[in-house]
Amino acid sequence: MKGTRSAKITRFIHDDDYDLCLRIGELIELSEVRDSGPPVILSRLSEGAWFPQDIIETIRLGLIGGGLHPQQAKRLTERAVQSGYLIDYQAVALEALYAAMVGVPDDLPEVGDDEPGGATDPDDGKRHIKWSSYFQFGGVAGYTPAEVKAMSLYEFSCVRSGWMLANGGQPDEKDEPVDDDEFERLVAAHEERSEQATRVLSMEEFLAMNKDKVTPS
């Protein structure tokens, strides 16, 4: 199955080929309308234990992320993904969500404790992702919530890793949102460096730093 690190795939739906892309914004909405985190929906789709709305909403939001106007995506989904045809689109929904969470896939997912997608809140088994971590980190790195929503998970992980490397952190291998303690440490270090970079030196500090270059008159 073809996919890219932008999470975009192209699939035939109803009457034509359409792009589907589940970025962070679409994944947040999917979590809200299905009351389940993307890892759980991915698991249901891959194990055949899905609900009709798992397929319908995943494809509708994927079409929006792929560039269709929300009303067009809604009408296309209502025409194509309906009772009697749901099984035909199970694979499309699975592939769209898998591409969003993993990137370029080699084969179908085996969902377990190690699936990517960020830290999850301990809850009733619905495994909601802590989207607030993404917005917090995006804000510190200089991105607006809208810009964070427009990123794929892979693109966000690249931003996060680059920012951490630039600010003295070590990105982990799983590219999960930074924990609270590490987040606070990095923010403090970033603010301290920013303050030092913009602070005006006193004459005494300037002379002390340049004592070897200043010739007494």
Q: Same domain, yes or no, for 12 and 71?
A: yes
DSSP 106: S
The residue that leads in pLDDT, 23 or 210, is 23
pLDDT digits (tens, 9 = 90+) for 175-189: 454 455 655 565 566
- CA 196 → CA 29, 126, 174, distances in Å? 41, 45, 33
Confidence band for 18, pLDDT divided at 50, 70 and 90:
very high
Q: Same domain, yes or no, for 26 and 82?
A: yes
For residue 33, being part of any structural domain is answered with yes
Q: Given this model, what pLDDT does residue 117 score?
A: 41
Q: Same domain, yes or no, for 95 and 158?
A: no
Q: Which residues contact 101 (CB under 8 A, 6 or more apart)?
A: 38, 39, 42, 115, 116, 117, 153
| Distance of alpha carbon 26 from alpha carbon 34, whole angstroms | 12
The residue that leads in pLDDT, 205 or 200, is 205
The residue that leads in pLDDT, 93 or 213, is 93
Q: Given this model, what pLDDT does residue 171 score?
A: 57
Secondary structure (3-state) at 16: strand
Query: How many folded domains does the chain comprise?
Result: 2
For residue 160, being part of any structural domain is answered with yes
Q: Does residue 68 have a pLDDT over 90?
A: yes
Q: Same domain, yes or no, for 82 and 160?
A: no
pLDDT digits (tens, 9 = 90+) for 130-178: 888 888 888 888 899 899 889 888 888 888 888 888 877 665 554 454 4
